Amino acid sequence: MNNNTPNEPLKETRTRDEIHEDLSGQTKLVTDQGLTADSYSVSDPWINSNRLTEEEEEELSGILVEYDMKKEEIVPGMRAFQRKVSFRKNLIYTAVLAVLTVLYFQAVIKKPDYTIGMVLGGLCLLVILMIWYMPVRHINNTVKAVEMDHMTYRLEISEVGFLILEDSGKYLVRFSTPTVSVIELPVCFTVCVSREKVFIIPKRCIRPEDMDEIRRRMQQGLGDRYVVQEK
């Protein structure tokens, strides 16, 4: 038996974020905005997002930020991103290869004519060098590419996430997505939207009157996935 009166509206029990998630179309966004991880680390060159309807675009409009990037922002921003997504992995690889190197060279000391051991030990050292050199090279190449393009990027920060502005419309990357996090640095916000894509938003491009509100929205939406680093 229905206890509701005929004219009584049903009470909405879902959160605003859940309502928008039901309404919006899930899509994998491939965008020219943002920076990518090292080419050998990239597996999925897209961002999980929601394509907003016209009604949602009006309701979810956020604080607009138009920005470009300079070397002094890209370098610390990319370093913070790399430390988050690949530092631990690289450290493990280095430890394993270092052990193998020691074992091979110990074998060579005991048996000087063990040529294969010397070659394999040398290869392990070379791989260790490449593990730590390639991220540095990638940052340098990224800086050169950005400085050559002279592009201006646009996004909005809403109450529920980042709005990526594309010619085809707005795409919402939600704060509630587990892979989304922010590292606040002295010169920029490093917005990690996946292990493959990062947005570096320079603080100089944010209006002073918007800074506190943008910071509040990200802190509130991300919780412990919002981290402040002094260096």
User: Does residue 11 fall inside a structural domain?
Assistant: no
Tell me: pLDDT of 14 over 50: no
Residue 202 lies in a domain: yes
Q: Is residue 199 part of a domain?
A: yes
pLDDT of residue 1: 47
pLDDT in tens, 22-39: 445 566 666 778 888 765
**What is the domain-level CATH number for residue 21?**
2.30.29
For residue range 139-183, list pLDDT tens digits in order. Answer: 999 999 898 888 889 999 999 999 888 877 788 889 998 989 999
User: Residue 24 is which amino acid?
Assistant: S
For the chain, give the mean pLDDT.
83
Looking at the structure, do residues 101 and 138 belong to the same domain, yes or no? Answer: yes
**Shared domain check, 162 and 218:** yes
Q: What is the DSSP string of the chain?
A: ---S-TTPPPPP-S-HHHHHHHHSEEEEE--SSSEE--TTT-S--SEEEEEPPHHHHHHT--EEEEE---HHHHHHHHHHHHHHHTHHHHHHHHHHHHHHHHHHHHHHHH-TT-HHHHHHHHHHHHHHHHHHHHHHHHHHHHHHHHHHH---EEEEE-SSEEEEEETTEEEEEETTSTT-EEEE-SSEEEEE-SSSEEEEEEGGGS-HHHHHHHHHHHHHHHGGGEEE---
- Judge if 154 and 142 occupy the same domain: no
Are both 28 and 127 inside the same structural domain? no
Structural domain ending residue among the three candidates 97, 117, 146: 146
| Whether residues 164 and 60 fall in one domain | yes
54 pLDDT more than 60: yes
**What per-residue confidence (pLDDT) applies to 62?**
87
The pLDDT-based confidence of 53 (bands split at 50, 70, 90) is low
- The total number of structural domains in the chain stands at 2
Q: Which domain holds residue 115?
A: 82-146
- Do 214 and 170 fall within a single domain? yes
Residue 101 lies in a domain: yes
Q: Binning pLDDT at 50, 70 and 90, where does residue 186 land?
A: very high
76 is a domain residue: no
pLDDT for residue 77 is more than 70: yes
> Which of residues 91, 114, 146 is at a domain's end?
146
**Same structural domain, 156 and 57:** yes
* Residue ending a domain, choose from 119, 146, 173: 146
The pLDDT of residue 36: 83
